[in-house]
A and B are shown apart, each in its own frame.
Chain A
């Protein structure tokens, strides 16, 4: 049978999917072992067990100075910044995206402006944000919002414009006002695409979050890895990177599940990543 026509069981799929991860961990373990034969105090590729110790220290032992459990404190702080930032850009994407996509006057007025804004590299306005909002939470949240909103607005505006015109005409013949069409036709139709936009927006959002935390912060996952970098503490950095990756993956999958649950009509055919 041709290979493109062969399907595989769930167990085989999981097994196949875990091979690259296992290879990576195995390669690391070997490389780390070889380096520590030369120099038992090697800091560059710490052993898996010393990383385990570091995780235990960061997550389950109170910090001697502050009494906090640093891993969880960092996680909560980072995720709340991410949540507030993404929430703001989601609201902007819904409000402005639908207005731009649906109402010609607003489209003519705002689309070129939003298109221009989306071309500003967000990280370049970080100094401006620090100057305006200070070094507190506001500037970090604003960076995430400003960094992700323009693209999300454009995505939603385009999604609105991609709604078949027939559906809008049909709604008009059923007596809908513009507002009713927004609430009953346009918004429900773009909701799955909004979830996709959030999932894609989270990728740069993490970058802006870590960058802002690295530059000016006193907590957060990004702050921590840039802090311990001074001591070449790879045993902390590597687990933190893995933890951030895992968080990003879980968020992404939760959003996909939410989309499947809330908008079954959008997932009736075809496979989605």
Chain B
């Protein structure tokens, strides 16, 4: 049994005097695909940003591979945001080689001539995988939303991170495109040996993709000052696709946003 990839102990996060997240204790095994769900404002994105070190915990510890997380974002954790994930001033191919350029040229951060050509050749296969070879010299704003997100995922993968963090990556995409993206992401997850955390609003997506679902909600509620308690992880569900039917797999679509998330979840949860 390997040590867990992440060990999270008594993690809290507050803004000023208002707690957002509290008392989070979690072990995440390497190679897990964790989906993070919960109502808006329940702190799931905050949790993801702490895993990225974009924000620092107010209390508690996050250990990655047994060591405390670095205090700032590092290449061992890739990120894909819902928007603004790729560089608009670089073409598709340039977006994919910029990580190699940073590593190779400390001063200019730019490759020229033969080295640049080699870097471009190195990403040719990745371009093929994400189906963007014909668009290699286009700018991101010339691509569709789905293509941009494929590029963003591929760009994060160029650093071969052990952890991939996704913050509602498909939130702005059409359902059809979203399905294609799911296939792509699952394929990349299997071939790249990564631990994935993905924030999503779509509970069907969470069941479909994840091996483990973390549900964020408030356990304690003060009716007078609702902001005085933070959310925590209320359910930590292993998802075994071989026994559990995927809710929504038969085409049902229910809108769970806005309801008390635990209630909504219980309604859609597979009976163990």
B77 contact set on A, CB distance < 8 A: 173
Nearest CB in chain A: distance from B70 CB, A: 10
Q: Are A175 and B159 in touch, CB under 8 angstroms?
A: yes
Is A80 positioned at the interface, with any CB of B under 8 Å from its CB? no
Size category of the binding interface on chain B: 35 or more
A11 contact set on B, CB distance < 8 A: none
A264 contact set on B, CB distance < 8 A: 139
Q: Are B109 and A173 in touch, CB under 8 angstroms?
A: no
Is B8 positioned at the interface, with any CB of A under 8 Å from its CB? no
Is B233 positioned at the interface, with any CB of A under 8 Å from its CB? no
Chain A interface mostly helix, strand, loop or mixed? Answer: helix
Interface size on A, residues (CB 8 A): 25
Contact with B along A95-119 (1 / 0, CB 8 A): 0000000000000000000000000
Q: Are A173 and B78 in touch, CB under 8 angstroms?
A: yes
Q: Are B159 and A173 in touch, CB under 8 angstroms?
A: yes
Nearest CB in chain A: distance from B45 CB, A: 12
Nearest CB in chain A: distance from B169 CB, A: 12
Known: A167-B84, A184-B109, A265-B89. A172 touches B101 (CB 8 A): no
B85 contact set on A, CB distance < 8 A: 166, 170
Nearest CB in chain B: distance from A174 CB, A: 4
Contacts A265-B89, A268-B141 supplied; 5 other A-B pairs, CB < 8 Å: A179-B109, A183-B109, A183-B110, A185-B87, A265-B140
A residues with CB within 8 A of B: 164, 166-167, 169-177, 179-180, 183-185, 188-189, 263-266, 268-269
Listed A/B pairs (26) with beta-carbon separation below 8 Å: A166-B81, A169-B52, A170-B87, A170-B156, A171-B102, A173-B52, A173-B75, A173-B159, A174-B75, A174-B98, A175-B159, A176-B109, A179-B107, A179-B109, A180-B106, A183-B110, A184-B109, A184-B110, A263-B89, A265-B88, A265-B90, A265-B140, A265-B141, A268-B139, A268-B142, A269-B141
